[in-house]
Amino acid sequence: MVKRQNDTVLANVFQPTVGELLKLNKGKKVKLICNNILNSMTIEGTISQIFEIPQDSAVPFRVNPAVAIIKTSTGNVVIYEETLAKIMSAEFGDDASYLVRKKKIESKLTVYFKEKPATTDLTVVGLQQYPAWNPVYRLVLDDNNKAKLTLGAEVSSNNTDFSNAELNLVVGNPSFSYGDILSRLVENSTPISEQPNYRYNDVMEKSGSGMAEGKFAPGASNVSISAGNSEDFYFYTVKNFSLQKNQSALVQIIQENVDVTHQYRCDLSAVNMYIQPYIFASFDEASIVPVNHFIQFKNPAKQPLTAAPIFIEKVSGANDIAQAQTNMDIVPIGGVANIFMATNMDLPVKQIEEETNRIASAKIIANKTESVSYDLITVKAKMHLENQSDKEKTITLKRSIEGKPLTTELPWTLKSLPSTNANPNSPNNITWEVKLKPGEKKDFTYTYEYYLRIY
């Protein structure tokens, strides 16, 4: 059996407040310099009285209560709670005291055995709050659709020295929302769910048979890296890990060659029963539709790739040229990373439409409150694509049309979706894959019809 005994002890206050120093030096001289909105004010005199601020929640709340009275040469000055926040400096005499002590609860655990005398080894398991490790990716592209992927772990030790530690850099999000109630025998004043710095990737530092949350960095040349998993999580184990307090470092976790695929995607405006056709007389009047550049590569590791920032470079002679600093989502084992690079500038795409037929009030749908009229519109859409680069590129065009796709001059892929009772149009996702040689221009048309709601 284990029993807990709480004792009240006096402990030093590491950073005392001005109010605590005033209380400690009652009856002594003080000089306070306060910063007001328009000017500064100096209060100099003797601390003649201290007002205790009650901590009992049953006491009615008071706005800006008095804290102390300073007896000056011209009279008594009342120091209020809000005044404390405006005090820039406080000067005390040589006889002043600065060691503030407060009562705190100190717990003692006593272990009782069935038989006496008894000796055994005890294992203590607990949680300790630390920042998370920060994964950072670097992807260096070449001209042959190849790239080198590097995962580094930015790790640091903010308040502890570590010597030959074993760390598990966790890929995932361990749940310690109720870490404050591991045991009622142990107090934790702030629930872990409310504490800061819990990130998507955590570090677990092994010490004996205990586990502690933390963030660390290596400091020895014999550091080794290995991969493993436990239940829902994967982790990179860093062994022989030494680091002094307030040091940081970057640990290379993986470095692999990958095959890269470049994709250029263009999402055309959606069509539904509320939108009129985009009517333009010519391509000169139409705006350019953005084409977004994505890169893809297969996860080369035997672990999931954790979500993290990724810095992308391109080899150019003896130097690398920065291409993007973006974010990569988590990639499962054998999965494909899909990373946005930039909005492309050498693949201009334009679209114009014309209404070729309209049947007024072609459909009327009545419900309990109203009758809604719909016109059936037939639209002819024209596309203009260019490749102004010196490489062959394929543009993926996508459009969502709630209606009926009719004809196209280029092959398309149609995916029909179920419609709702309130929608007279059937949803369709349309995709074109258009390959363009360097300098090539290409035009094509397609048609569709849909019901437009009339108000």
Do 150 and 237 fall into the same domain? yes
The two counts, helices (H) then strands (E), for the chain are 2, 27
If one counts the domains in the chain, the total is: 3
Among 258, 275, 307, where does a domain finish?
Answer: 258
- SS3 sequence of 26-50: CCCEEEEEEECCCCEEEEEEEEEEE
For residues 431 and 405, give the distance between their C-alpha atoms in angstroms, rounded to a whole number.
12
What is residue 188's predicted lDDT score, i.e. its pLDDT?
47
> Is residue 74 located within the same domain as residue 27?
yes
**Would residue 265 count as lying in a domain?**
no
- Whether 415 is covered by a domain: the verdict is yes
Q: Does any domain span residue 44?
A: yes
Q: Are residues 138 and 95 in the same domain?
A: no
Query: Which comes out higher in pLDDT, residue 416 or 200?
Result: 416
Written in H, E and C, the secondary structure of 127-155 is: CCCCCCCEEEEEEEECCCCEEEEEEEEEE
Residues 215-230 have a mean pLDDT of 58
Please check whether residues 244 and 142 belong to one and the same domain.
Answer: yes
Indicate the residue among 104, 122, 144 that finishes a domain.
104
What pLDDT does 230 receive?
74
Residue 203 tokens read as: 């570090």
| Between residues 347 and 210, the one the model is more confident about | 347
Q: Is 73 left (phi over 0), alpha (psi -120 to 50) or beta?
A: alpha
42/146 same-domain check = no
Taking only the tens place, the pLDDT of each residue in 227-267 is 777 777 788 888 888 878 888 878 888 999 999 999 999 99
The beta strand positions in 336-426, using DSSP E, are 336-343, 349-366, 371-386, 393-402, 404-408, 413-416
Domain that holds residue 449: 349-454
Residue 84: its H or E element: helix 81-84
Q: Are residues 92 and 182 located together in one domain of the fold?
A: no
Both tokens of residue 318? Answer: 């003896």
Could you tell me the pLDDT band of residue 75, with boundaries at 50, 70 and 90? very high
CA neighbours closer than 13 Å in the CB half-sphere of residue 401: 24
273 occurs within a structural domain: no
End-to-end CA distance of the chain: 78
The average confidence (pLDDT) of the chain is 84
> Does one domain contain both 233 and 181?
yes
Residue 217 has pLDDT above 70, yes or no: no
pLDDT in tens, 113-152: 777 766 777 777 766 666 567 889 999 999 889 999 999 9
What is the model's pLDDT at position 221?
47
Residue 192 CA to residue 386 CA, distance in Å, equals: 56
Do residue 44 and residue 145 come from a single domain? no
| Strands, sheet with 75-80, edge to edge from the N-terminal-most edge strand | 75-80, 66-72, 40-50, 29-35, 87-92
**208/400: higher pLDDT:** 400
**Lowest-confidence range among 12-16, 36-40, 378-382?**
36-40
Return d(Cα 370, Cα 378) in angstroms, integer: 26
In a domain, 284, yes or no: no
Q: Are residues 140 and 218 in the same domain?
A: yes
Domain membership flag for residue 236: yes
Average pLDDT over residues 64-76: 90
Q: Identify the domain boundary among 258, 290, 315.
A: 258
pLDDT in tens, 86-122: 888 899 999 999 999 988 888 887 888 777 766 777 7
Measure the CA–CA gap between 309 and 312, rounded to whole angstroms. Answer: 10
Give this prediction's pTM.
Answer: 0.66
At residue 134, φ and ψ (nearest 5 deg) are -110, 105
